[in-house]
Amino acid sequence: MLWLKRRRRRRLAEKHFPPEWLRILECNVGYFRLLPEEDRQELQRHILVFIAEKRFEGCGGLEITDEIRVTIAAQACILLLHRKTDYYPSLRSVLVYPQAYLARQATYLGGGVTVEGLHVRLGESWRRGSVVLSWDDVQKGASDIHDGQNVVFHEFAHQLDSSGGKGDGSAVLQSRSRYIAWARVLRRDYEQLRGKAIRNLPTLLNKYGAGNPAEFFAVATECFFERPIELREQHTELYAKLKEFYHQDPAHVFQNSRNNTRRTRDGSEGCET
């Protein structure tokens, strides 16, 4: 029942956040160090619920540790800050490989011809049930918060997108007029990226997003949280729609953190190397 789920989650969120988990956040998750204290506290509550509800499974010989759970959960839950959330309701498990892995993929070539083969993957998001991640790439994405590439943001954006934002209180999708405006901006910027990719022109957004609208949304999410000031300057309307969707303003977060630039850029502060 819904009220039981809410009560259980409230109790989970009120639990004491383990000090060793906080240390993992401070050492591993660069974006966490940018956040104001109020957001840090909210994020910790989300992490407690997420880890209690989702199953983590090691693949390829990887043993799941608290470091893996907390590092992944933190980035997944950054996308949920300031929102009414159902914590990715379709997601049951997070599968983690030690590094990039091979996955079978069928590619349609047209004319009734489909070719199957193995492709290197950093992560995958399945519409129902699971997210798959490379731990090596999770770590890289979490530590470098300025390169616009974060596999956890990317795959969990797919989780949000595949559910149409349902269960996460998306203001963008709650009225037809807002949805139409959202779709218009995403489609326009997606087509612009496709055009530049075809002509091999430089782009702020990763050209992987030119593959299809779903990949564009995931790539835009990565850029929104990791290169927000540039995104706001170059894609003003897209930034505004993502700001509305996520109920966050990462450009403001980055600007407010500039007084602590040295601390922010040194991901080893207070951590053993």
| Residue 32 Cα distances to 28, 41, 74, 92, 144, angstroms | 9, 10, 8, 25, 12
Thinking of the domain 18-143, which architecture would CATH place it in? Answer: Orthogonal Bundle (1.10)
pTM higher than the cut 0.85:
yes
pLDDT tens digits, 39-83:
999 999 999 999 999 999 999 999 999 999 999 999 999 999 999
Per residue in 114-139, pLDDT (tens digit) is 556 677 888 999 877 899 999 999 99
Strands 113-121 and 123-125: unpaired
Q: What is the architecture, at CATH level 2, of domain 170-259?
A: 3-Layer(aba) Sandwich (3.40)
DSSP string, 130-158: EEEEEHHHHHHHHH--SSS--HHHHHHHH
Nearest-angstrom CA–CA distance, 136 and 272: 18
Mean of per-residue pLDDT scores for the chain: 88
Instruction: Read off the pLDDT band of 197 (50, 70, 90).
Output: very high
pLDDT band at 167 (very low <50, low <70, confident <90, very high): very low
Where exactly are the structural domains of the chain? 18-143, 170-259
